[in-house]
Amino acid sequence: MKTTLLYGKDNLSIQLPDNSFVVEPTNMAGLQDTNREITDALRNPIGTPPLKEMVKSSDTVAIAISDITRPTPNHILVPLLIEELNHVPLENFVIINGTGTHRDQTRDEFIQMLGEWVVDNIRIVNNQCHEKETLVNVGESSFGCDVYLNKDYVEADFKIVTGFIEPHFFAGFSGGPKGIMPGIAGIETIMTFHNARMIGDPLATWGNMVDNPVQDMTREINGMCKPDFMLNVTLNREKDITAVFAGELYEAHDRGCEFAKEHAMIKCEERFDVVITSNSGYPLDQNLYQAVKGMSAAHKIVKEGGAILVASECSDGLPSHGNYSKIFEMAESPEELLEMINNPEFKMFDQWQVQKQAVIQVWADVYVHSKLTDEQVTGAMLKPMPNIEDTLEELKKTYGEDMTVAVLPLGPLTIPYVEE
C-alpha cells in the first residue's frame, strides 16, 4: 500500500506493507467562507462582548502571534483583526512575534507569515527572552520563578493572542495561553516552565488538561496579565482552517481543545513493532528540534524495544541557534542525558526537548529521514535513514516477517493512544 507523509512543502510518498495500520483523523473540510466565519466569531465571541465593542479608538493594541515554526494562518487572522478594529489608528497596533527561545524572524519571513501589507503598515517586534530591558516583571509564579513578559504586550491597553489548537506533547494542547507563556516570556520564566520536573511529570502529556503542571503554569501566568481576547483556529492536513474559537481566553480555549481532542486523538488497540511518522510537514518540520514532536506522537503506540521512523525535512538544520545540539555533546547516551538533565543543578535552555527525545530513545530506536547529514543525525544520537522502504525491509530481520507497522502521515497533528 502507498501513503503520503507530510514532509517539507512537497510531501513524501512511501510504499508500506499491505497490513500497515494508518492512523489519521477523518480529514475535515476547510471552512466554506473563512473570512466570514472568522469575522462572525469576532462579532459573536465566546464569553466576551464583540471585539469591536471592547476596544476604544484611543487604545494601543498588542497582538501576540506564534513564530514561523507554527502553521498558524496569521496572514488571514491578523488582517481580519485589524479590519474589525478599523476605528483604531494603525500606529496604535503592535504585533509581537512569540519566539519563546527561538530565533528572530526576518522581514521576508514576516511577509510569509503576515502578508506584505501588515509588514509595511504595522509595527512588529520579535520577543527577546534574554533581554530584560524588553521585559516586565508581572508577578511571581507558584511554580517557583519570577514572571517576565514582553514589555510591549504588558503596556498595551488591549491585548489579543492568536494561535492554533492541536494536541501538544507536554502542555496537553497548544494554542490559547501558550501564545503568551512561553511565546512572549523571559528566559527565567521559560526555564522554570520547561524544567526537568515539569517535563518529566506523567500528567504533562498529549491531550491531558487535568492536573497537567505545564498547562496549569501557563494558565496561572496568563492570569497575571491576561489577554483581553483570544482568536484561535484548528487546521486540517492541508493547513486549511476547520473551526474558529474566539473570545475569553480560558473558555474559548477549552472549547477548542474539546473539538481538537474529538478529531485529532485516535485510539489504537495495541502497540506496534514499528511506527512511521512525519512531523506534519512545513513549517513544523523545519528542524530536528521540532521533530521531537513527531517522535513523541509515535512513542505513544510503539512497543518497548521497537523502532520509530521519522520523516522530517529539517531545512533549517538542527537548528544552529540554541543549545539543542550542544547538549548532546555533553553525554554519551540517552540514559546519561537523562541523568544529567534530571540533576536539579543542571539548567540549560532547550534541555526540555533533549529530555523528551532521550525518554523516547530509551524506549525505542529512532531513525530519521531528512536533509541533514549523517553526522548531524548521529550527533543527536539518532540513526540516519536515507530510504524508509529499505529501513523497513531491514527491520524485518529484527522483528520478523510478520512485524506490525503503524504510520502517522500527519505526524503530531494526529495523536494515537493505547489504553493500558
Secondary structure (DSSP) of 237-275: TT--EEEEEEESHHHHHHHHHHHHHHHHEEEESS-EEEE
- Rg (alpha carbons) of the chain, rounded to whole number: 21
Catalytic entry in 168, 194, 299, 369: 168
Taking alpha carbons only, the member of 383, 366, 381 closest to residue 332 is: 381
Alpha helices in 65-160 (DSSP H): 74-84, 107-114, 116-121, 151-155
Residue where the block lists cell 498529549: 206
Sorted by sequence, the CB contacts under 8 Å of residue 99 that are 6+ apart come out as 67, 105, 126, 127, 129, 183
Residue 102 annotated to the active site: yes
Catalytic entry in 87, 102, 194, 253: 102
Q: What are phi and psi of 350, to 5 degrees?
A: 85, 0
C-alpha cell at 135: 521585559
C-alpha cell at 405: 507497522
From CA 60, how far away is CA 181, in angstroms rounded?
Answer: 21
C-alpha cell at 304: 518497548
Residue where the block lists cell 529539517: 314
Instruction: Compute the Cα dihedral for 185, 187, 188, 190 and give only its sign.
Output: positive
**131-167 burial code (b ≥16 CB/10 A, e <16):** eeebbbebeebebebebbbbbbbbebebbbbbbbbbb
Instruction: Compute the Cα dihedral for 13, 19, 21, 27 and give only its sign.
Output: positive
Distances (CA, A) of 17 to 1, 229, 393: 6, 48, 10
Strands of 11-134, DSSP E? 12-15, 21-22, 61-66, 93-98, 123-126
Residue 321 annotated to the active site: no
Q: Which residues are catalytic?
A: 102, 168
